[in-house]
Amino acid sequence: MNYKGRTVFTATAIAAVFAGLGIRLAFLHLQPSSDTLARIHSGRRLEQETRGSRGRILDREGQILALDIDAKHICADPKFILEHGDIQAVCEALSQHLTLDRDKIWKLLDHPDRQYVRIQKFAREQTVAPLRDLHLKGLIFEDASIREYPKGVLGAHVIGFVNYEGVGSAGIEQRMNSYLQGSAGLRISQKDGLRREIYSRRTVDIEPQAGADVHLTIDQQIQHFAEKALDDLSAKYHPQGAWAIVQNVRTGEILAMASLPTFNLNSFGSAPAEWMRNRAINYTYEPGSTMKAMIIASALDSGVVRSTDVFDCENGVWYYGGKALHDAHGEGRLSVADILKKSSNIGAAKIALRMGDEKVYQSLRNFGFGEQTGIELPGEDAGIVWPPDRWSKISITRLAMGHEVLVTSMQILSAISAIANDGIRMRPLIIHKVVDAKGDIILEPRPEELGRPIRPETAKLMRRLLARVTQPGGTGTKAALRGYLVAGKTGTAQKANLDEGGYYNHKYIASFIGFLPVENPVISIIVVADDPQGSHYGGTVCAPYFHDIADQTVRYLRIPPEGFPTEYISRLEQPPPGEEDIPE
C-alpha cells in the first residue's frame, strides 16, 4: 500500500472510532439503559449519617467530668498530591506536626490511583491549626469529635471511657450510653466530580440530636479526698490494690468511689486491663472481722444474746470440730460489747453457734450478701454466700469472723450503712439525674429501701457498741476524729488461695468500715488494702486513711459535730445549684 492509501486508511479508521464514540455518547445521553442510570446515580449519591454530640457527665455540683470537644480527621488525596508534585512538602509537614514517621507517610501517599487516605484520626485543634495555616493542597480536614476528660484520673473507674467508635465501654459511659449518645441525623444529597456536595441537590437533612447530660452523686472534692488517701496508703504500705467508698447513709448516694491502681481516661488505650478494674464493686474477698458487726447485730436483734452477756474467749485458743480457732490477742471472759470492741474471733464464733446455722445464713442474706446491690455501674459482682447444706461443721464459726463468704466492698458498706440508718438498707445510688438537651429531667432515681435487716432499737444499740471500737482499748482507735463520735469495725483476713485451696500464710486483706456522727449518722466510709506490706491489720493500715477521708469530708460537707445546734445546715441538706428557693 502506497503512502496515499495508508493515509486514507488511517483517516477512515480514526473517523470510524470517533463516529462510534459519538454514537455511544448520543445513546448514553439520549436513551441510557436503566443499569447505566443506576450506576450514575449511585456514583453521584452522597449519604451521610451524622451523630449529635455526646452528652456530658457532671458531678453533683455541676463540675464537668466528661464532654465532647471538636477534633479533625487528617486525610489526604494521594492522586492530587502526586499529580501536583507536592508529596515532599506534605510528608515533611505531616511528620513534623504529627510526630509520625516520614517514610510511613510517604508509603500512605504513594498511590496515584487513590483519592482518599486517612493519615490521623481525632487530631485536636492545636495539632490541626499549624497544618491548616500551611495551605497544603491535597490535605483534607474532616469534622470529628473527641471525648475529653478534664480531670484526667479523677473518678476514672466510675466515669469510664468511650472507645474509638464512640461507644461507652466502661463505667457510667457504658451503663448510661443510651442516654449519652444522642440520636443520629441523616443527610442525602449529590456530589460533583471532585466529591464535593452539590447543596442545591440536598433532598434529606435530618438534624442529629445531642445526647443527655448525666449528673452523678459523686462529689469531685470528696472523690479527691478518697484518691489522695489511697495514694498515701499505697506509698506507705505498697499493696497490690487499694480502694475506698464514701456513702450518704440516709439516701444511699455514693459521694466517692476510688480504686488503685488507676489510669488516665484521656489515654485509656495505654492502660493495662487490670488497672481498669473497679475493685470497689468487682473484687470479691473474705472480709474478715468487719463481718462481726452484722453477725452480732443479728444476734442482738433476734434476742439470742444481750450486749451484757459474757462468753469465755479461752485466752486466745479454742478447739471446735477438731480445728483450732485463734484470737490475735488472747482474752478471757468478755461481754458481747467487748467481743466487738476487741474483735474476738472466738467470742464471735460462740455467738454464731448460739444463733444456729439458719439464723446466721438468713442474717447474711438480709444484709444483702450473695446478691448485687443494684448500683448503676457495669461489672458489679454478687459475691458468694453458700447455703447451710453446703457448710462443714466449723463453717458457722468461720463465717462469724468473715471467712467462707465472698463479698464486695460495696456490699459491706451497704450493710454498715443499714446499721447507721436505723436498720434500713438502701440501694446505692450513683446517678443523681439525667437532663436532656432541652433542659428537661428525663431520669431522676429516688432513694429506695431494699429491706430492714434489724430493728431501729437494735441499730441504735449497735451504733454505740461500734463507737467503742474507735475509743481507747478498741482495735480502731486510729480512725477516731476530734469532735465526733466515730463508729467502726476493723477487718483483717488471710487471703484465700483460689488456685490451690486454703489460705496464703503471709497475704492479707486489711479493711476498716465506719460511719459518723454516731448519734446522727450522715456518711459511711470503707477503706480496703489488698496485701499491704509492713503491716496487715485493718486498724493499722486502713483506719488512719478512713480518718483522713472523714476529717476532710465532714469539714467540706459542714457536718455538725456531736451536740451541735440543729440549725447548722450541712452541704448535703442544701439544694443543688440552680434549685435554690427564689424569693417572692
Placement of cell 461443721 in the chain: 393
Between 222 and 146, residue with greater pLDDT: 222
Q: Calculate mean pLDDT across residues 460-471.
A: 97
Q: Calculate mean pLDDT across residues 43-71.
A: 84
The single-letter code of the amino acid at 463 is: R
**Per-residue pLDDT band at 476 (split at 50, 70, 90):** very high
Of 497, 524, 494, residue with least CA distance to 512:
524
CB neighbour list of residue 307: distance below 8 Å, 6 or more residues apart:
300, 335, 336, 337, 461, 465
In a domain, 522, yes or no: yes
Spatial separation of the C-alpha atoms in residues 229 and 220, rounded to whole Å? 14
**What is the H or E stretch that residue 506 is in?**
strand 503-516
Q: Are 185 and 241 within one domain? A: no
Q: What percent of the chain has pLDDT over 70?
A: 87
Q: Are 342 and 428 within one domain? A: yes
Spatial separation of the C-alpha atoms in residues 406 and 364, rounded to whole Å? 11
Q: Are 470 and 406 within one domain? A: yes
Of 366, 373, 367, residue with least CA distance to 428:
373
The cell numbers describing 196, all together, are 464535593
Of 201, 222, 208, residue with least CA distance to 437:
208
The cell numbers describing 79, all together, are 492522586
Length of the chain as a residue count: 584
In a domain, 268, yes or no: no
The cell numbers describing 379, all together, are 461489672
Last residue of a domain, one of 199, 216, 233: 216
Considering the chain, what is the average pLDDT of its residues? Answer: 89
Q: What percent of the chain has pLDDT over 90?
A: 65
Do 399 and 364 touch, CB atoms closer than 8 A?
yes
The cell numbers describing 551, all together, are 476529717
Instruction: Tell me the pLDDT tens digit for each residue of 231-245.
Output: 999 999 999 999 999
In a domain, 374, yes or no: yes
In a domain, 77, yes or no: yes
- Give phi and psi for 362, each to the nearest 5: -65, -35
Q: Are 211 and 226 within one domain? A: no
Q: What is the pLDDT of residue 107?
A: 84
**What is the H or E stretch that residue 187 is in?**
strand 184-191
The cell numbers describing 449, all together, are 429501701
Q: How far is CA 382 from CA 273, 281, 492, in A?
A: 21, 9, 21
In a domain, 28, yes or no: no
Q: What is the pLDDT of residue 327?
A: 92
Instruction: Tell me the pLDDT tens digit for each residue of 292-343.
Output: 999 999 999 999 999 999 999 999 999 999 999 999 889 999 999 999 999 9
Q: Are 411 and 495 within one domain? A: yes
The cell numbers describing 391, all together, are 457448710
Burial of 100 (0-12, 13-18, 19+ CB in 10 A): middle
In a domain, 7, yes or no: no
Q: What is the pLDDT of residue 351?
A: 98
Reported in sequence order, the residue ranges of 104-183 that DSSP labels E, i.e. its strands, are 117-123, 139-148
- Give phi and psi for 425, each to the nearest 5: -90, 125
Spatial separation of the C-alpha atoms in residues 577 and 574, rounded to whole Å? 9
3-state secondary structure of 84: coil
**Per-residue pLDDT band at 580 (split at 50, 70, 90):** very low
Q: Calculate mean pLDDT across residues 247-254.
A: 98
**What is the H or E stretch that residue 324 is in?**
strand 323-326
- Give phi and psi for 165, each to the nearest 5: -95, 5
Spatial separation of the C-alpha atoms in residues 433 and 215, rounded to whole Å? 5
Q: How far is CA 493 from CA 210, 236, 500, 529, 572, in A?
A: 49, 20, 18, 11, 34
The cell numbers describing 15, all together, are 473517523
Q: Are 194 and 300 within one domain? A: no
The torsion defined by the Cα of 130, 136, 137 and 139, in degrees rounded to 10, comes to -40
Q: Are 421 and 563 within one domain? A: yes
Q: Are 165 and 285 within one domain? A: no
Do 433 and 443 touch, CB atoms closer than 8 A?
yes
- Give phi and psi for 560, each to the nearest 5: -70, 140
Spatial separation of the C-alpha atoms in residues 379 and 193, rounded to whole Å? 50
**Per-residue pLDDT band at 582 (split at 50, 70, 90):** very low
Do 519 and 492 touch, CB atoms closer than 8 A?
no
The single-letter code of the amino acid at 380 is: E
Q: Are 289 and 199 within one domain? A: no
Q: What is the pLDDT of residue 71?
A: 85
Q: What is the pLDDT of residue 497?
A: 84
Specify the number of domains making up the chain: 2
Instruction: Tell me the pLDDT tens digit for each residue of 62-107.
Output: 999 999 988 888 888 888 888 776 788 888 888 888 878 888 888 8
The cell numbers describing 250, all together, are 440516709
Q: Calculate mean pLDDT across residues 277-289.
A: 96
The cell numbers describing 29, all together, are 445521553
Q: Are 534 and 385 within one domain? A: yes
Which of 8-12, 391-395, 410-414 has the least mean pLDDT? 8-12
Spatial separation of the C-alpha atoms in residues 417 and 424, rounded to whole Å? 8
Q: Are 336 and 210 within one domain? A: no
Instruction: Tell me the pLDDT tens digit for each residue of 511-568.
Output: 999 999 999 999 999 999 999 999 999 999 999 999 999 999 999 999 998 755 555 5
The cell numbers describing 394, all together, are 466449723
Q: Calculate mean pLDDT across residues 267-280.
A: 94
Placement of cell 449519604 in the chain: 47
Query: How many Cβ atoms from other residues are within 10 Å of residue 560's Cβ?
Result: 19
Q: Calculate mean pLDDT across residues 483-496.
A: 94
Which of 98-112, 345-359, 462-476 has the least mean pLDDT? 98-112
Of 280, 273, 214, residue with least CA distance to 242:
280
Spatial separation of the C-alpha atoms in residues 216 and 200, rounded to whole Å? 45
User: DSSP of 243-308, one letter per residue?
Assistant: EEEEEETTT-BEEEEEEES---GGGGGGS-GGGG--HHHH--B--GGGHHHHHHHHHHHTTS--TT
3-state secondary structure 426-456: ECCECEEEEECCCCCEEECCCCCEEECCCCH
In a domain, 171, yes or no: yes
In a domain, 212, yes or no: yes
Q: Calculate mean pLDDT across residues 431-458.
A: 96
Instruction: Tell me the pLDDT tens digit for each residue of 363-386.
Output: 999 999 999 999 999 999 999 999
| Residue 79's CATH number | 3.90.1310.10
Q: Are 191 and 320 within one domain? A: no
Q: How far is CA 567 from CA 557, 558, 560, in A?
A: 15, 12, 10
Residue-range definition of the domain harbouring residue 517 = 220-263+278-573
| Residue 539's CATH number | 3.40.710.10
Between 378 and 190, residue with greater pLDDT: 378
Q: How far is CA 423 from CA 138, 450, 455, 480, 481, in A?
A: 70, 11, 6, 23, 24
